[in-house]
Amino acid sequence: MTLHELLLPSPWTPPHPSDGVAPAWSSRMQLDECLVKVELGGPSDAARALSMAEEEACGGTRRRGGSKKRARAKAEQDEQPAACSNPQARCTKRRKKQQSRCLVTSVPDFDGYQWRKYGQKQIEGAMYPRSYYRCTRSEEQGCPAKRTVQRNDDCGNNTMEAPKYTVVYRAEHTCTANDSMEEAPVILETTAIIPATTKKRRPCDAADDNRNGVAGGGPFPPETDHHQARHEAAAADSCTSLATTTRRISSTGRTQSPATSDVTWSSEHVIDVLYDGLFPVDDSWAQTTTSLLVRDMDDFTGPIRSPVHVAAGGCWSMDQCLLHLVNDPILSHS
DNA sequence: GCTATTTGACCCTT
DNA sequence: AAGGGTCAAATAGC
């Protein structure tokens, strides 16, 4: 298994149940492999859907355009000949497997791809809303990749800890690498201890961040917990320093980030780079992640192109980050 | 004016 | 019927 496969949407292999570890790839989110019934209605359903669409188009009340569009899509889909020829009982068939995988991270935004948010919803029983993203290349290249990001409930957690987010990736990127992967900043994540802040962000704060030179200073959406946390994380010095440091060193070619390297890394290298070479690992999440990766990446070969998420237990200064990057024997070889 | 995000309604799946 | 996923108008920022 490659690190790329581990970190990016592709056929997902759940952790072995006998392992008894709490993996970074949480299995508590259900894999999207639900069965779908192939209705035998066919054209009549299509006609109904279409007429609904027409009805909506003429309706006096304000209806969302998406309804019509979706109804038409459904109609077109239903016009296709039924895939199942078995007349007996209602046949079922696995829906084209929507690949999904789950990642728990404290920095959900830095995953090497560019995403556009298209929705947010409060989920039943969840403390924080779930955000829905699709690949920014979805329109121009038809890339089907999507992801949802939801902040984990921090019940009982130390408020000084960076919040964790559950990121569920669905479908695989089909957009070409040079369009997204190479442009995207390669971030080796650390987790900073973020001072608790009670200040509620206002829309203008993002602009303030830009003016003040806060790293990652794109236009952050205001008000949501997710993005507020991201703001807070960006404001924490160590996070900012690490992100910019990693990117700068990578771009100068002085060292080669594992995330952009074409070098074939052994699992040993990967572990060195991910955990020992860069960051102290002293929280439980990181350690279970380590063991999981060590086991799963025994047969790891091939280039690492994806960013790496690592939780570190402390707050690192820029100097510390630089020192570790420069002194790392693997990273600093040129 | 363009682009990205927010938000509430709508639709689909279970 | 409930809950989750998606749409697109409205809005904000540049």
Beta bridge partners of A100: A170
**Which residue has its C-alpha nearest to nucleotide B14's C1'?**
A34
Is A208 among the domain residues?
yes
* Confidence bin at A98 (pLDDT 50/70/90): low
Q: Which nt sits closest to A204, CA to C1'?
A: C13
* Confidence bin at A157 (pLDDT 50/70/90): low
**Which residue has its C-alpha nearest to nucleotide B11's C1'?**
A67
A141 pLDDT higher than 50: yes
Is A13 among the domain residues?
yes
Is A50 among the domain residues?
no
Is A73 among the domain residues?
no
Rounded Cα distance between A290 and A288, Å, is 5
**Which residue has its C-alpha nearest to nucleotide B13's C1'?**
A36
Structural domains of chain A, count: 1
Look up residue A50 and give its DSSP letter: H
Long-range contacts from A85-92, C-beta under 8 angstroms, 24+ separation: A90/A37, A90/A38, A90/A40, A91/A38, A92/A35, A92/A36, A92/A37, A92/A38
Structural domain containing residue A157: 3-32+97-327
Give the pLDDT score at A131: 93
Is A164 among the domain residues?
yes
Is A220 among the domain residues?
yes
Q: How many residues does chain A have?
A: 334
Is A45 among the domain residues?
no
Q: Which structure tokens are listed for A253? A: 């070619």
Rounded Cα distance between A325 and A208, Å, is 31
Confirm whether any atom of chain C, the nucleic acid strand, is less than 7 Å from CB of A65.
Answer: yes
With contact defined as beta carbons under 8 Å apart, do A123 and A196 qualify? Answer: no
Look up residue A18 and give its DSSP letter: G
For chain C, which bases have at least one atom within 7 A of a protein Cβ?
A: 2-9, 12-14
Confirm whether any atom of chain B, the nucleic acid strand, is less than 7 Å from CB of A120.
Answer: yes
For the segment A39-45, the average pLDDT, to the nearest whole number, is 33
Give the pLDDT score at A20: 32
Could you tell me which residue, A253 or A70, shows the higher pLDDT?
A70
Is A109 among the domain residues?
yes
Rounded Cα distance between A315 and A238, Å, is 6
Confirm whether any atom of chain B, the nucleic acid strand, is less than 7 Å from CB of A123.
Answer: no
Tokens 């390669």 correspond to A186
A161 pLDDT higher than 70: yes
